Chains A and B, each alone.
Chain A
Amino acid sequence: MNNSYLSFHDRARKNEVILLAHGSGGKLSHDLVEKKFLPFLANPVLNKLDDSAIFEASGHLAFTTDSYVVNPIFFPGGDIGKLAVCGTVNDLAMSGATPLYLSLSAIIEEGFPLGELEQIMQSIKATTEEAEVKIITGDTKVVNRGQADKIFINTSGIGIIPPGIDIAGANAKTGDKVILSGTIGDHGIAIMSQREGLKFSIPIGSDCCPLSKLVSEMLDASPIIHCLRDPTRGGLATTLNEFARQSNVGIVIEEDKVPIKEGVRAACELLGFDPIYVANEGKLVAIVDPCEAEKVLVRMRQNKYGKDAAIIGEVVNDHPRRVIMKTKLGPSRIVDMLSGELLPRIC
């Protein structure tokens, strides 16, 4: 019997790691929910612990879901819990909805430290409070070692779209301005910097944050926002291409208008990445009526998540379905969607 086996069981005995029995539906399962989930999530709907959450809602509803399997689960500026709440809250916000309720479902690998679970729940609590959403239903499963990588989380969310709001990827019109809410690439580089073998000491934190308040303030400034999207995987380039294709328009952006942190730029340089393809978790791109753009921009800059917002380009009649970037050197180039995965250069 080797040491790691012993220590695994020792720790398990002290209730410090997740055991298969935690997912059995028996006493340990109850304990887990009561001690590790409810204290962080408590609200009247959830507390009933019935088979379904029951609530009132009416009007134009938005509904979305996403699963989070990020590795590493803790990274500078966030963790998988914060990400799981922000991701779904932001998806709702991008359709103009005010997020109301979330579900939370965790698949946990046997042996996962309870201390880390607590840390994740703590950050879920903080993020739901900030975003003013409630988790009203949930589930936990424990799987054998090796059948999941530490912890996977799924969240779904429901929100209400206020009357008069019509935001969709197909709504961009010639002349519209393209607004970006802040610096790009922070999340992708923060995650990359933690990967084994790549560890570099650039103090870049993920930008992971809930954008629902920023969006409601933007809509308050002007309801004529045509498109909204958070450029997560695939980065800014992919989001702009989606807009161009869905709306059948061309988009031109200027490279030197796109805000980017020096550290991110240097890391991209080192890895051979183009920052416009690197993932973000707390940024949005808005396509806004040209007469309203300034107003929206000013309002965005008053929010801490929009303080670096900038108009980076516009929607044009030429080259429909294509995104063109004027480079810093002068010549323009086509910006395509990300194809395949972003991999560091070898040489």
Chain B
Amino acid sequence: MKFIDEYQDSKLAKGLAGRIAGRSTKPVRLMEFCGGHTHAILRYGIRQLVPKTVEMRSGPGCPVCVTATADLDKSIALAHLPEVIITTFGDMMRVPGSYSSLQQAKAEGADIRIVYSTTDAVEIAKANPEKSVIFIGIGFETTAPTIAASIIKAQQEKIENFQVLSLNKLTPPVMKALLGLGEVKLDGIICPGHVSVIIGSYPYKFIPQNYGVACVISGFEPLDILLCIDKLVEQFENGQPRVEIAYLRGVKPEGNRKALQLMEEVFETGEANWRGIGIVPQSGLKIKRKYECFDAEKAFSGLLRFARNDKPVREPKECRCGDVIRGAATPLECKLFRRVCTPESPVGPCMVSSEGACAAYYQFCG
């Protein structure tokens, strides 16, 4: 476990920062896809270390943040159904939906439990055979394999009261959508470390090929990130964008076969609704027919239609989470930031989640 200290060594950091400064001759705009990267970049003051020519934008890689308000509303509606237990990651509790939040639904009497993983949800289902236990499945390729494994386990053990509302999303398709929008011109992407452990480096190939944007996969230690920035700047300056792994201790080009097989077994791709971006084709994971009795969307479709009144979806007013997620604005450009919107009383999800850009700016940019 010694490696972590090595990666935080300040001399190495200064050396790397110097190398980046030496390389960088013209303005370059990079996006860190992942909320974990945003957090580390601000926490270690990496923006202060890199030269002025390097501009950094935060991207959509915060699972709670990208969950669409409509999907939140659906989760809240499910929570209000009788004989239902909702299980969810803690961050989801406080995200405001159109009219309520899971936290509020809980206060009103809904049975909602925070879990640390899908495995917990399966255990809760086993312990409460008379209730339906629904797991709100959010996250990217990192959480999907465990969710798939839980569904397989539920089938093997005949735990029929376990369902998943699959809101899981995929990384490369949304990158494609963002680049396709062309709203923010990017020169390089700091690709997510943990996601890439699962999917490998091949799925990013289309990015340099079709969009001429450099892609480097990074770990989460500050030196990993600096090394990644160095490689991105190098590619940009040479005019030869490609996919590189700067996180060799974690990522293999082909990814994690076993995890991918699990996902393949349970899920198929379908459209997903992203906050700030909208419907992106092929960017969501839907539960296959074979496992449809574990699909909350199907199991409760009738009841949901019945429970949902026709109130329209409402986004929090003046909250710029959508822009922040697309990298089109920084949290500092939001009028509500720090004045109205704080981690104690968040207006949008980017302030709720520890992976959200607004929360990171709040904590580290005083």
Contacts and interface: CB of A to CB of B under 8 A. Distances in A.
Interface of A: 195-198, 262-263, 265-266, 269, 272, 274, 322, 327-334, 336, 339-341, 343-347
A254 B71 CA distance: 43
B331 interface: no
Interface stretch (B42-50, B253-261, B274-282, B314-322): B42-50
A236 to B, nearest CB: 15
A335 to B, nearest CB: 9
B140 A333 contact: no
6 contacts: A195-B116, A331-B45, A339-B343, A346-B89, A347-B139, A347-B195
Contacts of B94: 340
Contacts of B90: 341, 343
A196 B355 CA distance: 22
Contacts of A334: 363-364, 366
Nearest to B138: A346
Contacts of A339: 342-344
Given A329-B44, A346-B64, A347-B36, A198 B195 contact: no
Interface residues of B, number: 54
Contacts of A344: 116
A22 to B, nearest CB: 24
A272 B116 contact: no
Contacts of B158: none
Interface stretch (B8-16, B23-31, B263-271, B295-303): B8-16
Main secondary structure, interface of A, reads loop
B364 A333 contact: yes
B102 to A, nearest CB: 14
A347 B9 contact: no
A263 B1 contact: yes
B132 interface: no
B145 interface: no
B43 A274 contact: yes
A197 B220 contact: no
A340 B344 contact: yes
Given A197-B118, A197-B119, A330-B10, A345 B354 contact: yes
Contact of B49 (A322, A329, A345, A346): A329
A332 B2 CA distance: 24
Interface string B83-118: 000000111001000000000000000000001111
Nearest to A344: B116
A347 B63 contact: yes
